[in-house]
Structures are given as C-alpha cells and as structure tokens.
Homo-oligomer: A and B are copies of this chain.
Amino acid sequence: MRRLVQRRGYNGFGLTELLADAGAPKGVLYHHFPGGKVALAVEAVQRSAESTVASLRAVLAEKRTVKAALVAWLEGAAERLEKSGFANGCPLATITLETAATEPALREALDAAFSQLRAALAETLTSEGRSRAQAERLSALFISAYEGALLQARAARDTSIVVSTLRALEPLLTPDPA
C-alpha cells in the first residue's frame, strides 16, 4: 500500500493490484475495512504519520542540536528518495494533493498527520529556548520546506535542490538568533 501510493498516488493504483500484491482476496478487505479504499487509505495515512513522527523524534533525540537533527533528517529523506530511483516520495503529500478536495475523512487524517509532525518539531524547538510562537512558525516553515524540496527533487530527479534548500534554511536553525 505505502509503496504504491508513494510511486503512483492514491488514484494511480487499483484495489485489485493492491490485493494481488498482498496475496489477499477482496472479501478480506471489505470485511476489515467496510469503508473501502478510503478507509484503507485513512489507516495507511495514520500509520505513515506515526512512523514519520517517530523517525523525526528519533533523530531529534540522537543529534546534539536541532539544526544537526533536521539537516540529517531531510538529507536522509533525500537519500532514500534517490536510492529508490526517485520513485518513493512522501505518501502524505501525494494523497493530500489528490484527495483533499474530495475525501473529507482522508483530509482530516492528513491534517492530523501534519499537525503531529509540526507539533513534535515545535516541542523540541521550544526546549532549545525559543518562544512558543517562534517555534511554531519555524516548524511550519521547516515542514513546508521539507515537502516542497522533496517534491522538486522528484521532478528534477536530483537531490541538489534539497541541499540548497537546507543551506538556505540553516541560518534560521541555529539556536541563538531571532
């Protein structure tokens, strides 16, 4: 599921293909997910959000500074993208753009996902001494830059745009300035 969405988007694959991959027949899916494809995607979004938040928290805990952590996190994402031949993008971003206007349940799950991501980052930023307002603004910027940079990298089949984005962002990530 995750891989299919990453590569081709929510509307880019069919349930038949998904189930064939998983070796499961349709009856199973509609037994566990009476809501069909949308319900399945909601679950996938929640799982994806959890693992993304977890990986962000992990790198924030591992690195000494927020700046080092965020650089490592975004560079890691770019590296994984490149290693997949620029096929495996962020599933949250893709589903958002495809379905935000047509599937309210999915849109809400995506909103929650991005909120969690921003909140996790903002939390650490405040612990580094920033005001809550500043931490929230910077989190918004960083997550925006993260998604936008990876998006452009996919179009270009080149991660240098991610590196450029990160270099421009670095002055804001050092703890002492405004």
8 Å CB contact of A100 from B11, B155, B169, B171? B155
B164 contacts A98, CB within 8 Å? no
In the complex, which residues 70-102 of chain A have their Cβ closer than 8 Å to any Cβ of chain B? 85-87, 89, 93-94, 96-98, 100-102
Cβ distance A8 to chain B, nearest Cβ, rounded Å: 6
A110 within 8 A of B: yes
Chain A contact surface mostly: helix
Closest to A98 in B: B9
Cβ distance A170 to chain B, nearest Cβ, rounded Å: 9
Contact pattern, A 16-58, Cβ under 8 Å of B = 1, otherwise 0: 0000000000000000000000000000000000000000000
B155 contacts A141, CB within 8 Å? no
The docked-state distance in angstroms from the alpha carbon of A148 to that of B141 is 8
Contact pattern, A 139-178, Cβ under 8 Å of B = 1, otherwise 0: 0110111111101101111000100110111011000011
Q: Oligomeric state, in number of copies?
A: 2
8 Å CB contact of A137 from B12, B157, B167? B167
Cβ distance A104 to chain B, nearest Cβ, rounded Å: 9
The docked-state distance in angstroms from the alpha carbon of A86 to that of B103 is 12
A149 contacts B155, CB within 8 Å? no
B141 contacts A165, CB within 8 Å? yes
A123 within 8 A of B: no
Contacts of A147 in B (CB 8 A): 144, 147-148, 151-152
- Can you list 8 contacts pairing A with B, beta carbon distance less than 8 Å? A94-B98, A114-B152, A137-B164, A137-B165, A137-B168, A144-B147, A147-B148, A148-B149
